[in-house]
Amino acid sequence: MKDSQQCSNKHRPAHVAGAEAAGGAVVLPSEQAEQMREHARKTYPEECCGILLGRRNHSQVICSVYPTSNCMTVRTHDRYEMDPREILRADRAAEKEGEEILGFYHSHPDHPPAPSPTDAEFAWPGYIYLIIAVKEGKETQIKAWTYDEPLKHFREHPIKRSGETKKTSAGICRKPVTTGR
């Protein structure tokens, strides 16, 4: 699926409880960001979706993205549903690389990159949800969210491009990696 040497192989500390507890920032390499933007543009005006694989250390570090198909057969312009078998396959692939499923992405064609009531209805705590707004099939904007289950609301997290961080310690992808799909 990817070259595991391009990410640190240090495992996450036991005290990190999930996306909410990991300091907030989501590290997103520009190549992975572009891969998602391209997916969102290509499927416009329908919604796209995919899986985020990576490592959880001091930050959430996205090392690869795994585009999936939208299983919805109706309302594909404003709904998405992932095939659980693809999640299962991604989980196994991630495990082999010493990674994990950090979360998921989907697009909002001609809508802001903010979670909708439908997103909240299906949200799980502990995952990162990246939402890509696509305006008229061209302009894109990505925002990162996690769901706070007790408070029943989404919290926005800052996105750091991997090139923008000076850190080279555990958890930072040294250079962008791809899924090979």
Partner 1 sequence: MAIKVRIPTPLQSLTERQSEVRADGQNLREVLADLEAKFPGFQKRLYDDEGNLRRFVNIYVNDEDIRFLKGEDTALSEKDEVSIVPAIAGGN
Name, in order, each residue with C-beta under 8 angstroms of 171's C-beta and a sequence gap of 6 or more. Answer: 8, 10, 12, 27, 55, 56, 57, 58, 59, 61
Contacts of the segment 10-13: beta carbons below 8 A, 24+ positions apart: 10/55, 10/57, 10/170, 10/171, 11/98, 12/55, 12/56, 12/57, 12/171, 13/57
Q: Specify whether 139 is catalytic.
A: no
Binders of partner 1 in range 66-85 (CB under 8 A): 72, 75, 78-82, 84-85
Binders of partner 1 in range 33-72 (CB under 8 A): 47, 49, 72
> Counting contacts by CB under 8 A, is residue 24 touching partner 1?
no
Question: Could you say which of 5, 9, 17, 42 contacts partner 1 (CB under 8 A)?
Answer: 17
Q: Total number of residues binding partner 1 (CB under 8 A)? A: 40
Active site positions, annotated: 47
Task: Tell me which residues touch partner 1 (CB under 8 A).
Answer: 14, 16-19, 47, 49, 72, 75, 78-82, 84-85, 87-88, 91, 95, 100-102, 104, 106, 108-109, 111, 115-116, 118-119, 121-127, 129
